[in-house]
Amino acid sequence: QVHLVESGGGLVQPGGSLRLSCAASGSIFSLYVIGWYRQALGKQRELVAHITRGGSTNYTDSVKGRFTISRDDAKNTVYLKMNNLKPGDTAVYYCKADGGYWGQGTQVTVSS
């Protein structure tokens, strides 16, 4: 019964920034972990970052120092702030919650 909706993607130039949002239909307080994944053309879906209910975060090496995941329980929303975007960040970004719930994804394209 958990529904996730991603938003905030778009076309940006290298070095630009975006903030993705993952809005949940219900309270995210009961969810232990919410993660952002991405899938580029011709590649497997990979974990980008995740955040626990207690606020602990983890990032894949390629985005460390550039991306920040956060959560706002009052808004039932998890964010992914992406700075200094690179062409290699181009992908569809998905939100995932405990129990295998996935959003529909939002496209991020980094191109000059």
Top-confidence residue, 76 or 64 = 64
Average pLDDT score, the chain: 94
10-12 vs 106-110, strand pairing mode: parallel
Task: Report pLDDT for 29.
Answer: 67
Q: How confident is the model at residue 107 (pLDDT cuts 50, 70, 90)?
A: very high
Predicted confidence (pLDDT) per residue in 71-99, tens digit = 998 898 999 999 999 999 999 999 999 88
What letters, b where the CB count within 10 A reaches 16 and e where it falls short, cover 61-77? eebeeebbbebeeeebb
Secondary structure of residue 45 in the 3-state scheme: coil
